[in-house]
């Protein structure tokens, strides 16, 4: 049925966002015009690649439970 069955996306991951996080993602989706799930998947995979090859800082946030909301908009 499929040329390459290994390309089928069959694994589901769910995340929960608070209002501010959701608003930020919605703004990004509206700005880019991309579909939310596809945009987040690409961002997640890109970040994972950068972490694994040592090009990204993957430090823990100051508080382990959550990242402070002002950090959502800072670089």
Other C-beta atoms within 10 Å of 45: how many?
A: 10
Q: How far apart are CA 70 and CA 55, in angstroms?
A: 24
What is the model's pLDDT at position 26?
Answer: 98
- Contact, 20 vs 66, CB < 8 A? no
State percent of the chain over pLDDT 90.
61
Structure confidence at residue 44 as a pLDDT band (50, 70, 90): very high
Domain boundaries of the chain, sorted by first residue: 5-72
Span 45-69, pLDDT tens digits: 999 999 999 887 766 555 555 555 6
Task: Round to whole Å and give the CA distance between 41 and 25.
Answer: 12
Q: Report how far residue 41's alpha carbon sits from residue 72's, in angstroms, rounded to the nearest whole number.
A: 18
pTM for this entry = 0.68
Q: How confident is the model at residue 71 (pLDDT cuts 50, 70, 90)?
A: low
């Amino acid at each position: 049925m499929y040329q390459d069955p290994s390309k089928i996306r069959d694994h589901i991951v769910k995340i929960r966002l608070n209002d501010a996080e959701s608003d930020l993602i919605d703004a990004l989706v509206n700005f880019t015009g991309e579909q939310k799930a596809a945009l987040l998947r690409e961002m997640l995979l890109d970040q994972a690649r950068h972490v694994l090859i040592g090009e990204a800082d993957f430090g823990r946030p100051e508080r382990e439970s959550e990242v402070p909301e002002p950090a959502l908009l800072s670089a």
